[in-house]
Amino acid sequence: MGPVVPEFSRHQRQPRGSRQRSGPLGDQPFPGLLPKNLSREELVDALRAAVVDRKGPLVTLNKPQGLPVTGKPGELTLFSVLPELSQSLGLREQELQVVRASGKESSGLVLLSSCPQTASRLQKYFIHARRAQRPTAIYCAVTDGIPAASEGKIQAALKLEHIDGVNLTVPVKAPSRKDILEGVKKTLSHFRVVATGSGCALVQLQPLTGPG
């Protein structure tokens, strides 16, 4: 089994002993959501503070929800600030490249590499794994209520919906052919309950379909 890239939902638990960071993201009512009108410098500072691991040429950071990886010319994206982020991390001429990242609507771990050869090999691995329908991501979510089964599979139709200024993924019951044509996606995921308490559950999910 290949390497697993963990990505966490916006309902992730804070690790034991961790403290909420102050700064462009830490002062928000919900730190996982990217604030509006963030300057380029503030975004670089926020991403540097969001680095959770560095090993060799690889850098892992926790991307806030609402930050696109790529976009139109002039748009503030993760890709657009990689040169400044690379310098901020002391990489000098070794500019970071995106290996793996969650979408704009999700918070989650982003894998970067300052080595083009390493980035290329990992990207090819993820492409091959996706074509072979081998899951390479684990998501963690806290549920309101405890699932009846401790492990199993979830089949659901999902779509993006704009709610309170944020694009959120919401379920669609009994999607029609028109819904599918309009972008509703059928998904299949494996789930496992890791822990329970106070009427909630910490659940691990592995997407078996779609990007993931």
pLDDT tens for residues 12-45? 333 333 344 444 444 443 445 677 778 899 999 9
pTM exceeds 0.75: no
With pLDDT > 90 as the criterion, what percentage of the chain qualifies? 40
Instruction: Tell me the per-residue pLDDT of 144-188, one tens digit each, with 9 for 90 and over.
Output: 999 999 999 999 898 888 777 667 778 888 888 888 878 888 888
Q: Which residue has the higher pLDDT, 10 or 52?
A: 52
Q: CATH for 40-132?
A: 3.30.2350.10
**CB proximity list for 18: less than 8 A, separation 6 or greater:** none
- pLDDT at residue 131 is higher than 90: no
- Average of per-residue pLDDT across 108-130: 91
- Cα angle 101-84-48, degrees, rounded to a multiple of 5: 60
**Selection from 102, 130, 101, 99 nearest residue 112 by Cα:** 99
Q: Is 168 helix (H, G, I), strand (E, B) or coil?
A: strand
Name the segment(s) of the chain with CATH classification 3.30.2350.10: 40-132
Q: Rounded to whole angstroms, how far apart are CA atoms 149 and 191? A: 9
- Quick: pLDDT tens for 178-207: 888 788 888 888 999 999 999 999 999 988
